[in-house]
Amino acid sequence: MFSDLDLRGSGYMNITIALANELTRRHNKKVTILGMGYDGSPHDWPFQIIPVQTSNAFMHAASMLQNFYVLGENGANDPVDVFVVALDIPHQMRLPAWQILGNRTIPLLGIFPVESGPLTPTWANALGFHDARLVISDYGTRMCNEAGLPATHIPIGIDPDAWRMPGVKERKALRDTLGMEPDDFVILTVADNQERKNLSAAAKAVSLLIHKHKVKAKWILLTRIGSPVGWELNDLLISNDIMEHTIMFERGVEHSRLWILNAAADVFLLLSKAEGLCMPAVEAMATGTPIVTTDCTAFMEHLRAPDGTERGFPVKSEYIHVDPWGNSMRHYADPEHAAKQMKKVMKLYQNGRIQEQINLGRAYAESRRWSVAGDVFNDAVDKVIDLHRGRLMAQRSTLGPSMAASLVDPAHEKDKAAEVPLLPPTVPQAVPKMGGEDE
């Protein structure tokens, strides 16, 4: 597998690690991950991760794949049965040249989002080199199929225990820890600081809620504060007159801290122009935090059940334009409508009617199980291997005895086990009860 494994906060990291776990633990497959941006932190996952420098990552990864292929050809290692790439479409489009390896005896499986439609013929044709395509939202899968590109939806999961709902007393204690007053309406945004996340619209919506609608609110913004491709956030807060109402956190906080921010919030706000999935919205729903998001792309499957029941609060767009990113649509959310939706959430809290929305959101998040995604992934891996079985068997028949039983040795020496943490801190894990007994 080849993916972005930046432990500071990559969505691909969680997806890749979880799917690799599904293959190794449930299906007994051996997995090696070429991790772009991985810093070599120790882990006890049952697979191997090899760091790939972010600079010239594709050149390095291609060389690594070539080495693994040659070692397999010569019986010095296990042959490569399938190459899985979990990255954005433009990165997927750089891969067909790698298929020259071994006269195309290594099948290629892509895992990727479609942020917005339509999928252009150029992108669809490039993705046609893949032996199989797994798209991480139902919306994106439909965009592929409408473009004539066969694709399968892989329903990315969540660990419900890692994103559990807090108790009533526990939630109050968490808010106290963050310095929130009982009557503060707490808004949470978890998003990278880049154009697609549309943080300027979110800032405007918060400003309107506070200054026009007279709501006593606090905005918690977890983002990449010093992004070279994002907003100058302090200037953005000052221009919207919400500096004193905002608390900013740098991305990469420990999972337990991220859970606290979700559990303490009254609403999750994100006005992205497009989304390929947006797991932070699902994580908020899991912790019992209602979501207010742009009514577009993959957000739509979070906001509504198949029967049309709304389990979130959609924000309409002021306008839509065609973006240079694959000639796809970008939806510009209406900040005033977002402010009104947040005020609606606040009133539901005040009149005691918010619980229905919380329950709908939690049930939806609980339905997204990694075991389901693992089944889809394992089935896709098996199918692409079967498609190439004839060539693979011909290749293996020329190999001598293997000189190495495995690339992966998940066992750790007993005297070193204590030195290896169970998980890097940003990976979701069960959150212990905080604040004592609850009613």
Q: Are residues 52 and 181 in the same domain?
A: no
- Cα-trace Rg, the chain: 23
Q: Are residues 103 and 122 in the same domain?
A: yes
Judge whether 298 and 276 are in contact, CB under 8 Å: yes
Residue 379's contacts (CB-CB under 8 Å, 6 or more residues apart) are: none
**CATH code, domain with 96:** 3.40.50.2000
Q: Are residues 195 and 283 in the same domain?
A: yes
Alpha carbons 316 and 90: distance in angstroms, whole number: 29
Going by pLDDT thresholds of 50, 70 and 90, the confidence category of residue 239 is very high
In the Cβ-directed half-sphere of 365, how many Cα atoms lie within 13 Å?
29
Q: Are residues 174 and 248 in the same domain?
A: yes
Residue 211's contacts (CB-CB under 8 Å, 6 or more residues apart) are: 241
Q: Are residues 362 and 373 in the same domain?
A: no
Q: What is the pLDDT at residue 334?
A: 98
Q: What are phi and psi of 310, to 5 degrees?
A: -85, 125
The answer to whether residue 435 is domain-embedded is no
Q: What is the pLDDT at residue 63?
A: 84
Q: Are residues 138 and 39 in the same domain?
A: yes
In the predicted structure, residue 257 carries a pLDDT above the cut 60: yes
Q: Residue 46: is it exposed, middle or buried by C-beta count within 10 angstroms (0-12/13-18/19+)?
A: middle
State the total domains in the chain. Answer: 2
In the Cβ-directed half-sphere of 378, how many Cα atoms lie within 13 Å?
18
* Whole-structure pTM value: 0.86
Going by pLDDT thresholds of 50, 70 and 90, the confidence category of residue 401 is very low
What pLDDT digit, counting tens, does each position of 169-191 carry?
Answer: 999 999 999 999 999 999 999 99
Q: Are residues 133 and 57 in the same domain?
A: yes
Judge whether 298 and 291 are in contact, CB under 8 Å: no
The answer to whether residue 421 is domain-embedded is no
Q: What are phi and psi of 339, to 5 degrees?
A: -60, -40
Q: Is the peptide bond before 46 cis (omega within 30 degrees of 0)?
A: no
- The strand pairing partners of 267, in sequence order, are 187
Q: Are residues 88 and 231 in the same domain?
A: no
Q: What is the pLDDT at residue 65?
A: 87
Q: Mean per-residue pLDDT for 45-72?
A: 88
Q: What is the pLDDT at residue 413?
A: 36
Q: Mean per-residue pLDDT for 130-140?
A: 96
Alpha carbons 119 and 142: distance in angstroms, whole number: 10
Q: Are residues 356 and 377 in the same domain?
A: no
Q: What is the pLDDT at residue 397?
A: 60
Judge whether 410 and 44 are in contact, CB under 8 Å: yes
In the Cβ-directed half-sphere of 383, how many Cα atoms lie within 13 Å?
13
Q: Mean per-residue pLDDT for 154-160?
A: 94
Q: Are residues 193 and 315 in the same domain?
A: yes
Alpha carbons 369 and 154: distance in angstroms, whole number: 11
**Max Cα–Cα distance, the chain, nearest Å:** 76
Q: Mean per-residue pLDDT for 102-106?
A: 59
The answer to whether residue 277 is domain-embedded is yes
Locate 107 and state its tokens.
């099948």
The answer to whether residue 403 is domain-embedded is no
Q: Mean per-residue pLDDT for 160-164?
A: 94
Q: What is the pLDDT at residue 164?
A: 96
Going by pLDDT thresholds of 50, 70 and 90, the confidence category of residue 394 is low
Judge whether 59 and 418 are in contact, CB under 8 Å: no
Q: What is the pLDDT at residue 75?
A: 86
The answer to whether residue 415 is domain-embedded is no
Q: What is the pLDDT at residue 170?
A: 96
In the Cβ-directed half-sphere of 389, how many Cα atoms lie within 13 Å?
5
In the predicted structure, residue 167 carries a pLDDT above the cut 50: yes
Alpha carbons 165 and 286: distance in angstroms, whole number: 7
Q: Are residues 361 and 376 in the same domain?
A: no
Average model confidence (pLDDT) across the chain: 88
Q: Which 3-state string (H, E, C) describes the chain?
A: CEEECCCCCCHHHHHHHHHHHHHHHHCCCCCEEEEECCCCCCCCCCCEEEEECCCCHHHHHHHHHHHHHHHHHCCCCCCCCCEEEECCHHHHCCCHHHHHHHHCCCCEEEEECCCCCCCCHHHHHHHCCCCEEEECCHHHHHHHHHCCCCCEECCCCCCCCCCCCCCHHHHHHHHHHCCCCCCCEEEEEECCCCHHHCHHHHHHHHHHHHHHCCCCEEEEEEECCCCCCCCCHHHHHHHCCCHHHEEEEECCCCHHHHHHHHHHCCEEEECCCCCCCCHHHHHHHHCCCCEEEECCCCHHHHHECCCCCECCEEECEEEEEECCCCCCEEEEECHHHHHHHHHHHHHHHHCCCCHHHHHHHHHHHHHCCHHHHHHHHHHHHHHHHHHCHHHHHHHHCCCCCCCCCCCCCCCCCHHHHCCCCCCCCCCCCCCCCCCCCCC
In the predicted structure, residue 404 carries a pLDDT above the cut 60: no
In the predicted structure, residue 91 carries a pLDDT above the cut 70: yes
Q: Mean per-residue pLDDT for 428-436?
A: 72
**In terms of residue numbers, what domain contains 330?**
168-367
What pLDDT digit, counting tens, does each position of 181-232 carry?
Answer: 999 999 999 999 999 999 999 999 999 999 999 999 999 999 999 999 999 9
Neighbours of 403 (CB within 10 A): 10
Q: Are residues 46 and 175 in the same domain?
A: no
In the predicted structure, residue 410 carries a pLDDT above the cut 50: no
